[in-house]
Amino acid sequence: MADVALRPRFAEAGDVPAIVALMEAAITELQKPFLDASQIAASRSIMGLDSQLIADRTYFVVEQDDALVGCGGWSRRATMYGGDGSSGRDAALLDPAQDAARIRAMYTHPAFARRGVGRCILRMCEAAAGAEGFSRAELVATQAGEPLYRTCGYAAVEVILDERGGTAVPLLRMRKALSPTVRLSEIDAPSRR
């Protein structure tokens, strides 16, 4: 079978229904080995799409054959994680000279897990943040996402138990120094084998 390229692009407002469906599938399926049913249910209230990322043009989707297979972005704003309905959001702009860019809302469709989709999005986010002068990136990882981030050079800095959804959900704040030499235009999407 021939390789079929994964195509990354900026997310648009019209992508929101497909992004939300992908997020729901990822939260439901990819968290099962790590969380119980009540924690997965609680995750839905603390995770999700932050539409500000789409408006800021810092959110990406990855497609294959016109199907959405992954999404994720970065932010120059203070919110660390959470969707439009999450409490505690802060839209204040960060200072690249002092603050770390935020890697946000990374999701891969369960059928495409461990095929390079997340790594492709993460590299695009890091390159875009670096191009805006950020020298560090931070993120809040789920237990399912932590192995990818560790492999990509992120180190744990804080364990978080988020109880906003009524049940404690374990998360991990992670940080990485960004390379100033990678440019967004130099990143190729992986091919699916």
Tens of pLDDT along 105-161? 999 999 999 999 999 999 999 999 999 999 999 999 999 999 999 999 999 999 999
Residue 107 backbone phi and psi in degrees, to 5: -140, 140
Spatial CA neighbour of 122 closest among 145, 100, 155: 145
Average pLDDT of the residues in 62-79: 95
Q: Binning pLDDT at 50, 70 and 90, where does residue 85 land?
A: confident
pLDDT recorded at residue 88: 83
Q: How many CA atoms lie within 13 A of 51 on its CB side?
A: 8
Question: Which of left, alpha, beta for 95 (phi over 0: left; psi -120 to 50: alpha)?
Answer: beta
pLDDT recorded at residue 89: 87
Asked whether the CA dihedral 41, 46, 51, 56 is positive or negative, the reply is: negative
The two three-digit tokens of residue 154, written as one number: 């992120």
CA 171 to chain centre: 14
Dump pLDDT digits (tens) for 23-66.
Answer: 999 999 999 999 999 999 999 999 999 999 999 999 999 999 88
Report d(CA 53, CA 143) in Å as an integer. 23
User: Using alpha carbons only, what angle is made at residue 30 by residues 28 and 36, rounded to the nearest 5 degrees?
Assistant: 60
Average pLDDT of the residues in 9-17: 96
- The residue count of the chain comes to 193
Spatial CA neighbour of 74 closest among 29, 31, 128: 128
CATH number of 4-186, picked from 3.40.630.30, 2.60.40.1180, 3.90.470.10, 3.20.20.70:
3.40.630.30
Is the per-residue pLDDT at 182 higher than 70?
Answer: no
